[in-house]
Chains A and B, each alone.
Chain A
C-alpha cells in the first residue's frame, strides 16, 4: 500500500552539467518546464526524482541552477540526488563508458515514492495522450507502458516548443516509430512506466552488465517478460528534438571500432539473457548526506557491488503465451 502522502507518479530523470549534445542544460530546463506545466495543468500528483550522476568537478551543479531556471519546480515535490563521481569509476566495466545511465536511474527508482514510476530522459516531451492517461490514472499494475518516440528535426527551434510544433507531422525527422509487439522496443529508455511495486520486484535495470549503456533499456524488457509482466503501448507518443551527439543521428559513428564507443558495444546480447540484481540495487547502501535540499550519495566501497557476479546473468524464464527472447546474433 502506498503511503497516504505519496504521489501518484514519480518521474525519474538523470543528467549532469557536462554539455552533452552541446546545450544539455538549456534543453533539460526547457523540457522540464514544459512537462511540469502540463502535469500541473492536469492536476496530476507527481514528484520528480532527479539523479545528478557523477557531476564534473568545477562546473556548477544542475541542482544549484534548476530552481531559478524552472519556476514550476517545487522543492516539496522534488527529490534530488547528487552521486559522487567515484561511483562511476568504481562501477564501470568499460573505461570508454562515460555514464552509467541506468544505474543512475535505478537510484531514482529505488527511492521513488510514487505509485507509478516513469523513467524518461531529460529532453523528452510527454505527449498529450500520455498526460491524459496519467491524469485519469488509467494504468494497470503489472503492465509496463511504452510510448513511441517521435524525433523532431534538428532544425526545429527548441526555444519555442508548444503543442502545435510538437504535433505538426512536417516537423518529424523521418517516419514516426511504431512499437512492435511483443517487446515494444525502440528508444525504450525514453519512456518506461511501471508501478513501483513491480519495478522494485524486478529490481530495476540491469546492474550486472556494466560494460555498455546502450541496450540496457532493451534488456529490461526481457526481464519484464521473464518476470511475468506484460508490455503495453500507452497509445500516444513522446517527443524528442534531435541534437548533435544523439545516438539516433549517428548509430554507426563507431562502426568497426564498437568497443571504443562511449555508449559501449551495441552488439551485446541485450535481447538475450536476463539478470538478477543484488538486494542492494540502486546503490541502496550508499551513505547519504542531506545538504540544502539535495541528497548527496557519498562514496563508500561497501556500497559498490562486486566487479563480477556471473551467477546473476541468467537465462530468461519462458512463460506460457509470452515470446521467447531474442535470436542469437554473432558478434564477431
Chain B
C-alpha cells in the first residue's frame, strides 16, 4: 500500500494524471471555454437562422396578404367577366336580329323593285 506522501506517478504518455486536480481543473476550464465558444458560435448561427426565418415569415405574411387581395380581385374580375360575357352574348344576339332584318328587308326590296320594273315593262 503506497504511503500518504508517495510521489504521483506520471502517466505513460507523459501527461499529468487524471487525478491531478490542477491539471484536471485546467482541462475542464479549457474544455468549458471551448464549449462556450462553440455555444456562442451556435447561438450566433441560430440567431442568424432565426432572423432569416423571421424575414421569410414576414415575406410570407406579405405574400399571403397580397394573395388574398389577389383572390378577392380575381373574384371581382370573374364576376365582371361573366357580366361582360352576358352583355356580349346579348349584343351578338341583337346583331343576329339586325342582320336578319336587313337581309329580309333587302330581299323584300329586291322583289318589290323587280315586280315594279316588270309591271312597268309590261305597261
Q: Which residues of A contact B (CB under 8 A)?
A: 92-95, 208-211, 265, 268-269, 272-273, 307-308, 310, 313-316, 324-325, 327-328, 331
Residues of A contacting B: mostly: loop
Alpha-carbon separation in the docked complex, A316 to B88 (Å): 13
B74 on the interface (CB 8 Å rule)?
no
| A209, B97: Cβ atoms closer than 8 Å | yes
Alpha-carbon separation in the docked complex, A268 to B98 (Å): 14
| B100, A211: Cβ atoms closer than 8 Å | yes
In the complex, chain A residues whose CB is within 8 Å of the CB of B94: 310, 313
Give, as a whole number of angstroms, the nearest-CB distance from A231 to chain B: 20
A273 touches which one: B93, B99, B100, B103 (CB < 8 A)?
B93
In the complex, chain A residues whose CB is within 8 Å of the CB of B98: 308, 310
B85, B89, B99, most chain A CB atoms within 10 A: B89
Within 8 A of A (CB), among B70-114: 82-83, 85-90, 92-94, 96-101, 103-105, 107
| B86, A211: Cβ atoms closer than 8 Å | no
| A269, B100: Cβ atoms closer than 8 Å | no
Residues of B contacting A: mostly: helix
| B90, A314: Cβ atoms closer than 8 Å | yes
| B100, A272: Cβ atoms closer than 8 Å | no
Alpha-carbon separation in the docked complex, A324 to B101 (Å): 30
B86, B87, B107, most chain A CB atoms within 10 A: B86
| A268, B93: Cβ atoms closer than 8 Å | yes
Of all chain B residues, the one with the shortest Cβ separation from A268 is B96
| B104, A313: Cβ atoms closer than 8 Å | no
In the complex, chain A residues whose CB is within 8 Å of the CB of B100: 93-94, 210-211
Of all chain B residues, the one with the shortest Cβ separation from A327 is B85
B83, B88, B92, most chain A CB atoms within 10 A: B92
| B82, A92: Cβ atoms closer than 8 Å | no
Of all chain A residues, the one with the shortest Cβ separation from B108 is A89
Alpha-carbon separation in the docked complex, A5 to B94 (Å): 43
Give, as a whole number of angstroms, the nearest-CB distance from B96 to chain A: 5
A310 touches which one: B89, B92, B97, B105 (CB < 8 A)?
B97
| B104, A95: Cβ atoms closer than 8 Å | yes
Of all chain B residues, the one with the shortest Cβ separation from A325 is B86
| A92, B104: Cβ atoms closer than 8 Å | yes
Q: Which residues of B contact A (CB under 8 A)?
A: 82-83, 85-90, 92-94, 96-101, 103-105, 107
Give, as a whole number of angstroms, the nearest-CB distance from B88 to chain A: 6
Alpha-carbon separation in the docked complex, A316 to B83 (Å): 10
Alpha-carbon separation in the docked complex, A36 to B97 (Å): 39
In the complex, chain B residues whose CB is within 8 Å of the CB of A208: 97
| A93, B93: Cβ atoms closer than 8 Å | no
Alpha-carbon separation in the docked complex, A234 to B18 (Å): 98
| B101, A93: Cβ atoms closer than 8 Å | yes
In the complex, chain A residues whose CB is within 8 Å of the CB of B105: 307
Q: List 15 A-B contacts (CB under 8 A).
A: A92-B104, A208-B97, A209-B93, A211-B99, A211-B100, A265-B96, A268-B96, A269-B89, A269-B90, A273-B89, A308-B101, A324-B82, A325-B86, A328-B85, A328-B89
In the complex, chain A residues whose CB is within 8 Å of the CB of B87: 315
Alpha-carbon separation in the docked complex, A313 to B96 (Å): 11
B97 touches which one: A308, A316, A327 (CB < 8 A)?
A308
Alpha-carbon separation in the docked complex, A273 to B89 (Å): 7
| A272, B104: Cβ atoms closer than 8 Å | no
In the complex, chain B residues whose CB is within 8 Å of the CB of A273: 86, 89-90, 93
| A93, B97: Cβ atoms closer than 8 Å | yes
In the complex, chain B residues whose CB is within 8 Å of the CB of A327: 85
In the complex, chain A residues whose CB is within 8 Å of the CB of B104: 92-95, 307
| B96, A211: Cβ atoms closer than 8 Å | yes
Alpha-carbon separation in the docked complex, A327 to B89 (Å): 9
| B96, A272: Cβ atoms closer than 8 Å | no
